[in-house]
Amino acid sequence: MNSYILKIFLYETDPQVWRRFSVPETATFSELHQIIQKAMGWNDEQAHQFRYGKGRHLKQVIANTNEQVGPGDEFTDEKDITIAQFAGRRKLPVRLMYRYDFFDDWTHELVIEEKKEGENTLKMLGGERACPPEDCGGSFGYKECLAGYAEWMDDDYDPEAFDPKSVKL
């Protein structure tokens, strides 16, 4: 069995929020979504999708429902494709887009960086900064929170805090 090393980073955050982890090659994209949720510290309360393709128009969609697919997009059910099947014979690194919470529009770049032969691990390898809280209003709302303009913001939230060892994937 083999595993893949993946890195995910959140767009429109400065400094950047990112995570790196290993995933068994047999993991489906449905399982990858759950891994990403744990890695980022979110609660899986919103819709999501993976997109890939050439150029600016990422027409290939991997998701859990056809409702998230627009006209002209190609849909693959996330339960039906593994990381190994997706990576296939592609030259690594391979980049995808991961969208979470279509209202707040958290957009991530997901990079399948390398294949590890003979390793079958699910493990957090690194990362920086706490992920923005669920439903904080997207990148604009997150910046407002950091600037102290959001009265509802939890006093315990520390945007700098992230301990990879504390994440149980």
Contact criterion met (CB below 8 Å) for 152 and 135:
no
**Could you give the CA distance from residue 129 to residue 159 in angstroms, rounded to a whole number?**
6
What pLDDT is stored for residue 124 in this prediction? 97
What does pTM read for this prediction?
A: 0.89
Q: How far apart are CA 62 and CA 68, in angstroms?
A: 9
Query: What is the pLDDT averaged over residues 34-60?
Result: 88
**pLDDT (tens digit per residue) in 82-134:** 999 999 989 999 999 999 988 888 899 999 999 999 988 999 999 999 888 87
More confident residue, 169 or 156: 169
Decide if pLDDT at 80 tops 80. yes
**For residue 143, is pLDDT > 70?**
yes
Tell me the domains of the chain and their CATH numbers: 3-166 (3.10.290.30)
Q: What is the DSSP string of 104-126?
A: TTEEEEEEEEEEETT----EEEE
Q: What is the mean pLDDT of residues 27-38?
A: 97
Taking residues 140-168, what's their average pLDDT?
A: 77
